[in-house]
Copies of this chain bind each other. A is one copy, B any other.
C-alpha cells in the first residue's frame, strides 16, 4: 500500500510542523484518523495548550519534495513496502524517510558498524576487515558517515552495499571531507535521513540519528568507543530496540577500548571476527526479514544522564544537549490513544481541571502512564488526549517504555 501524492504531502507537512516528532505524529494520526485531519485540528489543539504552533505550509512541503527530486531522491512512508521493516518496528520510526541512491539495499539484512571518529590504525583496519566480511556474507553495512570507524565501514562495503544515515538533510553532507565517499556510496548503496533537505545537523540531531542506525540493523557492532561517546548511545538504542549489541574488545590500557569493554561487561556479545556477528544473526534471517520483537530486554547499567551528544561533532564549542532527559523525539512511549478517532470536545473547565491535576502529578522523575491515569482518576482517553497537548507545548517528555516526566524550567 502506497500513499497518494496528496497524502504524502500532508504527512510531510505534519511531521515538519513545530513540536511534532514521530511519536506525536503517530498519536495524532491515531486520534484524527489521518494527516489532513490532524493538520486541521492542530491550531485548536495548540490554542488549548496556550500557545501557537507553526504549521508547515503546502508550499514549504512542495519545495522540499522538489529539492529531493532534483538530487534524485524520494520519500518512503512508514507502512509502504519499501520502508525497511526493522526500522518500522521501532517505536519512534520516522513517518517519512528521505532516500538517495539504491533504496533496495534497505530491504536486505543490515548490520550497523559504529565507533570512534578518532580511531586507531588498528581499529580502522579491523573495521574494514569486518565490514568486508559482513558484506561478503550478505549483510548491508549501516553507519553514520562520520570520520574514523564510520568511514572505514562504508569504504570497505561499497562493493557489497552500505547505507549512510545522515543527521542533517541529504544535501548537507557532514563531515564535508566525506562528500566524495558519499557520492560513491549512493552508486551502490543508499543514504537516508528523516531531516528536511537543507538542514544543517545540530549536536542534538546526532543521537536522534543514531536510533535510525541501530533501528535499521539486526545488530549493532561497536568497534572503538570511548566511555562517553555517540557509539554508546547507538548501542543503547539497539538494546532498547531489542537488537543484538556486539562490541569489539581492546586492551584495558587503551582508552578507545573502554566503551567496548564496558558494553561487553554489560552483556554485549564480544565480537573478534565477522563470524561472531554472522552466527548470532543467522537465526534472524530467512524469515522474510521479519524481526522477532523483544530479542533482548533493556538492561540496567546505562546512564541516561551521561552526555554523549557533543562528542559527535567536530566542533568543540557545540553546546551539550539538556542533561537529564533524552530529546523528546527519541523518548519512547507506549501510549495507546483511543482508536476511535475523535471524541466530544472537553468542556473548557473540564480541560483546565484535568490539566492542573495531571501536571500536579508529574515531576522530574518519570512515572508510568498507567500510574498516571490511575492517580488522575480520569479516563485513559482524556489523559491521553491531554498528554498530546502537553507534549506539543513542550511541558512533558515521554521516555522509552512510555514513562512520562515534566520538563523542569
Chain A positions within 8 Å of B, measured between CB atoms, are: 122, 125-126, 248-254, 257-258, 261-262, 264-265, 269-273, 276
Contacts and interface: CB of A to CB of B under 8 A. Distances in A.
B261 A252 contact: no
11 contacts: A126-B251, A248-B252, A249-B251, A249-B270, A252-B273, A257-B272, A258-B272, A261-B270, A262-B272, A265-B269, A270-B270
A264 B270 contact: yes
A219 B265 CA distance: 17
A251 B253 contact: no
A250 B126 CA distance: 13
Contacts of A262: 272
A125 B253 CA distance: 9
A251 B252 contact: no
A272 B253 CA distance: 8
Given A249-B250, A250-B250, 17 more contacts: A122-B251, A125-B253, A126-B253, A248-B251, A249-B249, A249-B251, A249-B252, A249-B257, A249-B261, A250-B251, A251-B254, A257-B272, A258-B272, A261-B272, A265-B269, A265-B270, A265-B272
A125 B252 CA distance: 11
A264 B272 CA distance: 11
Q: What is the predominant secondary structure among interface residues of chain A facing chain B? A: mixed
Nearest to A263: B270
The oligomer's copy count stands at 2
Contact of A122 (B253, B271, B276): B253
Contact of A264 (B125, B249, B258, B273): B249
A296 to B, nearest CB: 17
A122 B257 CA distance: 14
A261 B252 CA distance: 12
Contacts of A270: 249, 261, 264-265, 270
A248 B253 CA distance: 11
Contacts of A271: 252
A156 to B, nearest CB: 15
Contacts of A125: 253
A282 to B, nearest CB: 16
A248 B252 CA distance: 8
Nearest to A123: B251
Contacts of A276: 265
Contacts of A269: 265
A334 B252 CA distance: 40
A313 B273 CA distance: 30
A249 B262 CA distance: 11
A273 B261 CA distance: 11
A191 B251 CA distance: 31
A17 to B, nearest CB: 47
